[in-house]
Protein backbone atom coordinates (compact mmCIF):
# COMPACT_ATOMS: atom_id res chain seq x y z
CA UNK A 1 0.00 0.00 0.00
CA UNK A 2 1.27 3.46 -0.87
CA UNK A 3 2.15 5.86 1.93
CA UNK A 4 -0.63 8.22 0.78
CA UNK A 5 -3.26 5.46 0.96
CA UNK A 6 -1.94 4.30 4.33
CA UNK A 7 -2.14 7.83 5.72
CA UNK A 8 -5.69 8.22 4.36
CA UNK A 9 -6.70 4.91 5.97
CA UNK A 10 -5.28 5.99 9.33
CA UNK A 11 -7.07 9.33 9.17
CA UNK A 12 -10.31 7.55 8.33
CA UNK A 13 -9.91 5.14 11.26
CA UNK A 14 -9.33 8.16 13.48
CA UNK A 15 -12.74 9.50 12.43
CA UNK A 16 -11.55 12.25 10.05
CA UNK A 17 -14.61 13.38 8.04
CA UNK A 18 -12.59 14.60 5.06
CA UNK A 19 -10.72 11.30 4.89
CA UNK A 20 -14.06 9.43 4.90
CA UNK A 21 -15.44 11.65 2.12
CA UNK A 22 -12.30 11.14 0.04
CA UNK A 23 -12.33 7.38 0.59
CA UNK A 24 -15.98 7.12 -0.53
CA UNK A 25 -15.20 9.10 -3.69
CA UNK A 26 -12.35 6.71 -4.51
CA UNK A 27 -14.56 3.64 -4.05
CA UNK A 28 -17.50 5.14 -5.95
CA UNK A 29 -15.27 5.99 -8.91
CA UNK A 30 -13.82 2.45 -8.89
CA UNK A 31 -10.33 3.84 -8.29
CA UNK A 32 -7.81 1.07 -7.43
CA UNK A 33 -6.65 3.22 -4.51
CA UNK A 34 -10.17 2.98 -3.08
CA UNK A 35 -10.20 -0.81 -3.10
CA UNK A 36 -6.68 -0.83 -1.64
CA UNK A 37 -8.00 1.39 1.14
CA UNK A 38 -10.95 -0.94 1.82
CA UNK A 39 -8.51 -3.84 2.15
CA UNK A 40 -6.60 -2.00 4.87
CA UNK A 41 -9.60 -0.81 6.90
CA UNK A 42 -11.71 -3.97 6.50
CA UNK A 43 -10.41 -5.71 9.70
CA UNK A 44 -11.69 -2.69 11.64
CA UNK A 45 -15.31 -3.05 10.45
CA UNK A 46 -18.32 -4.92 11.82
CA UNK A 47 -19.15 -2.64 14.73
CA UNK A 48 -21.83 -0.35 13.28
CA UNK A 49 -25.53 -1.15 13.13
CA UNK A 50 -26.46 -1.09 9.42
CA UNK A 51 -30.13 -0.13 9.00
CA UNK A 52 -31.81 -0.09 5.60
CA UNK A 53 -34.89 2.00 4.92
CA UNK A 54 -36.86 1.32 1.78
CA UNK A 55 -40.26 2.29 0.43
CA UNK A 56 -42.05 4.23 -2.28
CA UNK A 57 -41.15 7.84 -3.12
CA UNK A 58 -43.00 10.30 -0.92
CA UNK A 59 -43.33 7.95 2.03
CA UNK A 60 -41.10 10.20 4.11
CA UNK A 61 -37.95 8.10 4.41
CA UNK A 62 -35.62 11.12 4.50
CA UNK A 63 -37.73 12.90 7.12
CA UNK A 64 -37.83 9.70 9.17
CA UNK A 65 -34.05 9.31 8.97
CA UNK A 66 -33.70 12.92 10.11
CA UNK A 67 -35.88 12.20 13.16
CA UNK A 68 -34.00 8.96 13.91
CA UNK A 69 -30.68 10.76 13.61
CA UNK A 70 -31.83 13.39 16.12
CA UNK A 71 -32.64 10.71 18.70
CA UNK A 72 -29.46 8.73 18.06
CA UNK A 73 -27.38 11.88 18.49
CA UNK A 74 -29.21 12.63 21.73
CA UNK A 75 -28.00 9.19 22.88
CA UNK A 76 -24.44 10.28 21.97
CA UNK A 77 -24.18 7.89 19.01
CA UNK A 78 -22.34 8.87 15.83
CA UNK A 79 -24.48 8.51 12.71
CA UNK A 80 -23.83 8.14 8.97
CA UNK A 81 -26.49 8.35 6.27
CA UNK A 82 -26.06 6.94 2.77
CA UNK A 83 -28.83 7.92 0.34
CA UNK A 84 -28.92 6.05 -2.94
CA UNK A 85 -30.27 8.48 -5.54
CA UNK A 86 -31.29 8.27 -9.19
CA UNK A 87 -28.32 8.91 -11.45
CA UNK A 88 -28.15 12.25 -13.18
CA UNK A 89 -28.47 11.68 -16.94
CA UNK A 90 -25.83 14.38 -17.46
CA UNK A 91 -23.13 13.81 -14.83
CA UNK A 92 -23.99 10.28 -13.66
CA UNK A 93 -23.73 11.69 -10.17
CA UNK A 94 -26.35 11.73 -7.42
CA UNK A 95 -29.28 13.68 -8.85
CA UNK A 96 -30.91 14.68 -5.59
CA UNK A 97 -27.70 15.54 -3.78
CA UNK A 98 -27.48 15.42 -0.02
CA UNK A 99 -31.03 15.25 1.20
CA UNK A 100 -32.67 18.59 1.86
CA UNK A 101 -34.62 17.21 4.81
CA UNK A 102 -31.39 16.30 6.58
CA UNK A 103 -30.06 19.86 6.56
CA UNK A 104 -30.62 20.18 10.31
CA UNK A 105 -27.68 17.80 10.77
CA UNK A 106 -25.22 19.19 8.20
CA UNK A 107 -23.21 21.11 10.78
CA UNK A 108 -23.19 18.33 13.38
CA UNK A 109 -19.70 16.74 13.47
CA UNK A 110 -21.30 13.52 14.74
CA UNK A 111 -23.37 13.11 11.57
CA UNK A 112 -21.99 12.24 8.12
CA UNK A 113 -24.36 12.42 5.14
CA UNK A 114 -23.58 11.18 1.64
CA UNK A 115 -25.58 10.64 -1.53
CA UNK A 116 -24.56 8.05 -4.08
CA UNK A 117 -25.84 7.56 -7.61
CA UNK A 118 -27.37 4.17 -8.28
CA UNK A 119 -26.01 4.18 -11.87
CA UNK A 120 -28.95 2.11 -13.01
CA UNK A 121 -28.31 -0.70 -10.55
CA UNK A 122 -31.31 -2.99 -10.13
CA UNK A 123 -33.09 -2.01 -6.96
CA UNK A 124 -31.43 1.35 -6.72
CA UNK A 125 -28.23 0.21 -5.00
CA UNK A 126 -24.91 0.74 -6.70
CA UNK A 127 -22.18 -1.88 -6.48
CA UNK A 128 -20.20 0.41 -4.16
CA UNK A 129 -22.95 0.83 -1.54
CA UNK A 130 -21.78 -1.84 0.90
CA UNK A 131 -18.18 -0.75 0.47
CA UNK A 132 -19.25 2.75 1.48
CA UNK A 133 -21.12 1.37 4.49
CA UNK A 134 -17.90 -0.44 5.48
CA UNK A 135 -15.94 2.81 5.25
CA UNK A 136 -18.53 4.56 7.44
CA UNK A 137 -18.34 1.66 9.89
CA UNK A 138 -14.53 1.83 10.04
CA UNK A 139 -14.70 5.59 10.63
CA UNK A 140 -16.37 4.88 13.98
CA UNK A 141 -20.04 5.47 13.13
CA UNK A 142 -22.39 3.66 15.51
CA UNK A 143 -25.39 3.72 13.16
CA UNK A 144 -25.33 3.66 9.36
CA UNK A 145 -28.67 4.38 7.68
CA UNK A 146 -29.02 3.23 4.06
CA UNK A 147 -31.87 4.87 2.16
CA UNK A 148 -32.85 3.56 -1.26
CA UNK A 149 -34.55 5.39 -4.06
CA UNK A 150 -38.13 4.16 -4.39
CA UNK A 151 -38.12 1.96 -7.47
CA UNK A 152 -40.79 -0.52 -6.43
CA UNK A 153 -40.48 -4.22 -5.83
CA UNK A 154 -37.03 -4.49 -7.40
CA UNK A 155 -35.47 -2.60 -4.51
CA UNK A 156 -35.70 -5.70 -2.34
CA UNK A 157 -31.94 -6.05 -2.87
CA UNK A 158 -31.51 -3.70 0.08
CA UNK A 159 -31.73 -6.92 2.11
CA UNK A 160 -28.20 -7.62 0.89
CA UNK A 161 -26.83 -4.50 2.54
CA UNK A 162 -28.33 -4.15 6.01
CA UNK A 163 -28.64 -5.84 9.40
CA UNK A 164 -32.18 -4.53 9.91
CA UNK A 165 -34.68 -3.69 7.15
CA UNK A 166 -37.33 -1.02 7.68
CA UNK A 167 -40.15 -0.75 5.12
CA UNK A 168 -41.74 2.71 5.15
CA UNK A 169 -45.32 2.98 3.88
CA UNK A 170 -47.87 5.78 3.81
CA UNK A 171 -51.65 5.56 4.20
CA UNK A 172 -53.90 6.03 1.23
CA UNK A 173 -51.43 4.44 -1.14
CA UNK A 174 -52.90 1.43 -2.90
CA UNK A 175 -49.48 0.80 -4.42
CA UNK A 176 -48.09 0.04 -0.97
CA UNK A 177 -50.58 -2.74 -0.27
CA UNK A 178 -50.05 -4.17 -3.75
CA UNK A 179 -46.32 -4.26 -3.07
CA UNK A 180 -46.94 -6.14 0.16
CA UNK A 181 -49.12 -8.69 -1.60
CA UNK A 182 -46.53 -9.09 -4.35
CA UNK A 183 -44.01 -10.56 -1.95
CA UNK A 184 -42.10 -7.61 -0.57
CA UNK A 185 -43.61 -8.48 2.83
CA UNK A 186 -40.92 -11.13 3.23
CA UNK A 187 -38.27 -8.41 3.29
CA UNK A 188 -38.84 -6.09 6.28
CA UNK A 189 -37.98 -6.65 9.92
CA UNK A 190 -39.99 -3.57 10.92
CA UNK A 191 -42.84 -1.84 9.06
CA UNK A 192 -43.44 1.88 9.55
CA UNK A 193 -46.69 3.56 8.57
CA UNK A 194 -45.57 7.17 8.29
CA UNK A 195 -47.79 10.25 7.99
CA UNK A 196 -50.02 8.51 10.52
CA UNK A 197 -52.28 11.55 10.91
CA UNK A 198 -53.96 10.40 7.69
CA UNK A 199 -57.57 9.19 8.19
CA UNK A 200 -56.81 5.86 6.46
CA UNK A 201 -53.93 4.96 8.79
CA UNK A 202 -55.83 2.42 10.92
CA UNK A 203 -57.32 0.83 7.79
CA UNK A 204 -53.84 0.40 6.36
CA UNK A 205 -52.50 -1.10 9.61
CA UNK A 206 -55.33 -3.68 9.55
CA UNK A 207 -54.56 -4.53 5.92
CA UNK A 208 -50.86 -4.98 6.70
CA UNK A 209 -51.67 -7.21 9.67
CA UNK A 210 -53.87 -9.29 7.38
CA UNK A 211 -51.07 -9.74 4.85
CA UNK A 212 -48.57 -10.54 7.61
CA UNK A 213 -50.85 -13.21 9.03
CA UNK A 214 -50.65 -15.07 5.72
CA UNK A 215 -46.85 -15.20 5.76
CA UNK A 216 -44.94 -18.09 7.38
CA UNK A 217 -44.44 -17.29 11.07
CA UNK A 218 -40.81 -16.69 11.96
CA UNK A 219 -39.23 -16.23 15.36
CA UNK A 220 -39.25 -12.44 14.97
CA UNK A 221 -42.76 -11.02 14.67
CA UNK A 222 -42.64 -7.98 12.39
CA UNK A 223 -43.91 -4.96 14.35
CA UNK A 224 -45.94 -2.15 12.77
CA UNK A 225 -45.00 1.32 14.04
CA UNK A 226 -47.12 4.39 13.32
CA UNK A 227 -45.10 7.61 12.97
CA UNK A 228 -45.43 11.24 12.02
CA UNK A 229 -41.77 11.82 11.24
CA UNK A 230 -42.21 15.54 10.52
CA UNK A 231 -43.34 16.06 14.13
CA UNK A 232 -41.22 13.31 15.71
CA UNK A 233 -44.31 11.33 16.75
CA UNK A 234 -43.72 7.57 17.14
CA UNK A 235 -39.99 7.82 16.39
CA UNK A 236 -38.98 6.84 19.93
CA UNK A 237 -41.04 3.66 19.56
CA UNK A 238 -39.29 2.96 16.25
CA UNK A 239 -35.88 3.38 17.93
CA UNK A 240 -37.00 0.92 20.62
CA UNK A 241 -38.02 -1.62 17.93
CA UNK A 242 -34.68 -1.16 16.14
CA UNK A 243 -32.87 -1.89 19.41
CA UNK A 244 -35.15 -4.89 20.08
CA UNK A 245 -34.44 -6.35 16.65
CA UNK A 246 -30.71 -5.81 17.05
CA UNK A 247 -30.75 -7.57 20.43
CA UNK A 248 -32.84 -10.41 18.95
CA UNK A 249 -30.55 -11.16 16.00
CA UNK A 250 -27.49 -10.96 18.25
CA UNK A 251 -29.03 -13.35 20.79
CA UNK A 252 -30.22 -15.77 18.11
CA UNK A 253 -26.90 -15.72 16.29
CA UNK A 254 -28.59 -14.59 13.07
CA UNK A 255 -26.63 -11.32 12.84
CA UNK A 256 -23.50 -13.18 11.77
CA UNK A 257 -25.60 -15.30 9.36
CA UNK A 258 -27.09 -12.18 7.81
CA UNK A 259 -23.71 -10.57 7.42
CA UNK A 260 -22.28 -13.70 5.82
CA UNK A 261 -25.18 -13.72 3.34
CA UNK A 262 -24.78 -9.98 2.74
CA UNK A 263 -21.06 -10.26 2.08
CA UNK A 264 -21.56 -13.29 -0.17
CA UNK A 265 -24.04 -11.27 -2.23
CA UNK A 266 -21.62 -8.36 -2.37
CA UNK A 267 -18.76 -10.56 -3.58
CA UNK A 268 -21.01 -12.11 -6.25
CA UNK A 269 -22.31 -8.66 -7.20
CA UNK A 270 -18.81 -7.25 -7.63
CA UNK A 271 -17.77 -10.27 -9.68
CA UNK A 272 -20.85 -9.85 -11.88
CA UNK A 273 -20.23 -6.12 -12.35
CA UNK A 274 -16.57 -6.58 -13.24
CA UNK A 275 -17.17 -9.55 -15.54
CA UNK A 276 -19.88 -7.63 -17.37
CA UNK A 277 -17.61 -4.63 -17.83
CA UNK A 278 -14.77 -6.86 -19.05
CA UNK A 279 -17.14 -8.64 -21.43
CA UNK A 280 -18.45 -5.37 -22.84
CA UNK A 281 -14.90 -4.11 -23.40
CA UNK A 282 -13.99 -7.29 -25.27
CA UNK A 283 -17.14 -7.30 -27.38
CA UNK A 284 -16.81 -3.66 -28.38
CA UNK A 285 -13.65 -4.53 -30.29
CA UNK A 286 -14.80 -7.93 -31.54
CA UNK A 287 -15.86 -8.06 -35.21
CA UNK A 288 -17.43 -11.50 -34.72
CA UNK A 289 -19.76 -10.08 -32.07
CA UNK A 290 -20.73 -7.25 -34.40
CA UNK A 291 -21.60 -9.83 -37.04
CA UNK A 292 -23.70 -11.86 -34.59
CA UNK A 293 -25.51 -8.71 -33.54
CA UNK A 294 -26.27 -7.91 -37.18
CA UNK A 295 -27.82 -11.36 -37.53
CA UNK A 296 -29.95 -10.79 -34.43
CA UNK A 297 -31.12 -7.40 -35.75
CA UNK A 298 -32.03 -9.00 -39.08
CA UNK A 299 -33.99 -11.72 -37.25
CA UNK A 300 -31.80 -14.49 -38.67
CA UNK A 301 -30.49 -15.41 -35.20
CA UNK A 302 -32.22 -15.23 -31.83
CA UNK A 303 -30.54 -13.41 -28.89
CA UNK A 304 -30.15 -16.55 -26.73
CA UNK A 305 -28.30 -18.43 -29.48
CA UNK A 306 -26.08 -15.41 -30.10
CA UNK A 307 -25.25 -15.27 -26.37
CA UNK A 308 -24.42 -18.99 -26.34
CA UNK A 309 -22.05 -18.60 -29.29
CA UNK A 310 -20.29 -15.64 -27.63
CA UNK A 311 -19.80 -17.61 -24.41
CA UNK A 312 -18.50 -20.61 -26.38
CA UNK A 313 -15.93 -18.35 -28.08
CA UNK A 314 -14.87 -16.86 -24.74
CA UNK A 315 -14.53 -20.32 -23.18
CA UNK A 316 -12.47 -21.52 -26.13
CA UNK A 317 -10.22 -18.45 -25.93
CA UNK A 318 -9.71 -18.98 -22.19
CA UNK A 319 -8.89 -22.68 -22.73
CA UNK A 320 -6.31 -21.86 -25.41
CA UNK A 321 -4.61 -19.36 -23.10
CA UNK A 322 -4.28 -22.02 -20.38
CA UNK A 323 -2.62 -24.52 -22.73
pLDDT in tens, 73-111: 999 999 999 988 654 333 344 434 444 456 666 678 899
- What is the average pLDDT across 24-33? 88
Residues 246 and 275 in one domain: no
| Overall domain count for the chain | 3
Q: How confident is residue 323, by pLDDT bands cut at 50, 70 and 90?
A: low
47 has a pLDDT exceeding 90: yes
The contacts of residue 48 (CB under 8 Å, 6+ apart) are: 80, 133, 136, 137, 141, 142, 143, 144
Residue 26 domain-assigned (yes or no): yes
Residue 76 domain-assigned (yes or no): yes
Residues 37 and 55 in one domain: no
Residues 167 and 217 in one domain: yes
Q: Say what the pLDDT of residue 184 is.
A: 63
In whole angstroms, give the CA distance from residue 89 to residue 112: 26
Residue 245 domain-assigned (yes or no): yes
- What is the average pLDDT across 238-257? 93
Residues 4 and 36 in one domain: yes
Residues 248 and 297 in one domain: no
- Please state, for a pLDDT cut of 90, what percent of the chain lies above it: 43
Residues 274 and 227 in one domain: no
User: CB-based burial of residue 139 (10 Å sphere; 0-12 exposed, 13-18 middle, 19+ buried)?
Assistant: buried
In whole angstroms, give the CA distance from residue 323 to residue 320: 5
Can you give the residue range of the structural domain that contains 300?
Answer: 267-322
User: Which long-range contacts does 306-313 make (Cβ < 8 Å, 24+ apart)?
Assistant: 310/283, 313/288
Residues 53 and 196 in one domain: yes
Residues 215 and 302 in one domain: no
Residues 139 and 245 in one domain: yes
Residue 106 domain-assigned (yes or no): yes
Residues 40 and 50 in one domain: no
- pLDDT per residue over 111-133, tens digit each? 999 888 655 444 435 567 878 99
In whole angstroms, give the CA distance from residue 45 to residue 137: 6
Amino acid sequence: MSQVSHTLAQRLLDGDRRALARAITLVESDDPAGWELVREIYPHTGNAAIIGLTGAPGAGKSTLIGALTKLRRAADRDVAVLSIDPSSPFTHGALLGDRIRLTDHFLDPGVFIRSMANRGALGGLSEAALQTALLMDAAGKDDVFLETVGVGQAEVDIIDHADTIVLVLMPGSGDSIQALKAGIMEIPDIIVVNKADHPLTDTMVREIRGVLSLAPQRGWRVPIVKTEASRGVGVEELVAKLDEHRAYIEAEGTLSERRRRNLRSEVVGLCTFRLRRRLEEQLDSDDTFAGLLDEVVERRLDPATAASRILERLDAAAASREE
